[in-house]
Chains A and B, each alone.
Chain A
Amino acid sequence: MNPAINAGMAPVATPGFFYVLAGLAVASGVAVITRRNAVHAALALIVTLLSVAGLYLMLYAPFVFAVQLFVYAGGIMLLFLFVIMLVNIERSSKERRFNRMWPVALAASCALMVLFLSAFVKGRTLFPDRLMPLPESSNTQQIAGMLYGEAGRMGQYTFAFEIASLLLLVAILGAVIMTKKKI
């Protein structure tokens, strides 16, 4: 392993893992959008989430890995599975899966992919080619410092963090009011 690349950080896992996880993520991503049965799609999405979480670990982001596991896979996906089962949409799954104009959509998305790739190839020179070392002490303390602020002074994102909690409150109220039968 070329030390310059990882700039003195102990490698999280052998590079081979990256290809495994990336392949798994993309494969289950394809499964999400092609499966006829909604629960299969949800399971595929869970696999995608877990493999992307693995990628976070390789990018030295354990806290984001834990948040992804906790909030995304444990929370949001459960919400999806709940709704799929409560509303048991299985009966309507016997009809056509794709709407009529799917070829147009497919062409547009492939064009988008080509655009991304060309942007990456051209832009390769802009990014510094070697990776700078991340601060050594525990990642969680760092993130907490930025979110809540350290030693008395406000962190960089404290205000944004409060607004995010407001956003969640609004979402909770909205979801509850919408699903109540008789308000």
Chain B
Amino acid sequence: MVPITTFHYLVVAAALFVLGVIGVLTRRNVVIVLMSIELILNAVNLNLVAFSRMWGNLNGQVFSIFVTVDAAAEAAVGLGILIAFFRNRETINVDEIDLLKW
């Protein structure tokens, strides 16, 4: 059982990050796109904490709390836009929202 080093955590974070990017690029449903962004932010958090463990200080962990705060704000506003939009246009498929003003 090879000991767990930071490298392992980086690979996992990279995998999550790539999954998030695939989600954002390919999915049509806005909620799934927002969830993929959450996935990306989680990958970033994992990286921060892994490095904080590696360097032995807590800056990484404190900064990951700031990233969580940002994720919360982003989710709230993103979903607010989604609700406002859904009420007018009855659809939330990303590729159908193509008008700037209707």
On A, residues with C-beta under 8 Å from B are 1-2, 5-7, 15-16, 18, 22, 25-26, 29-30, 32-33, 38, 41-42, 45, 48-49, 52, 55-56, 58-61, 63-64, 67-68, 71-72, 75-76, 79-80, 83-84, 86-87, 89, 92-93, 95-100, 102, 105-106, 108-110, 112-113, 116-117, 120, 124, 127-129, 131-135, 139, 142-143, 146-147, 156-157, 160-161, 164, 167-168, 170-172, 174-176, 178-179, 181
Contacts and interface: CB of A to CB of B under 8 A. Distances in A.
Contact of B53 (A67, A99, A131): A131
Contact of B54 (A128, A170, A172): A128
Contacts, number: 244
Interface of A is mostly: helix
Contacts of B52: 59, 61
Given A25-B16, A56-B49, A105 B61 contact: no
Interface of B is mostly: helix
Interface in B38-89: 38-39, 42, 45-46, 49-50, 52-59, 61-62, 64-66, 68-77, 79-84, 86-87
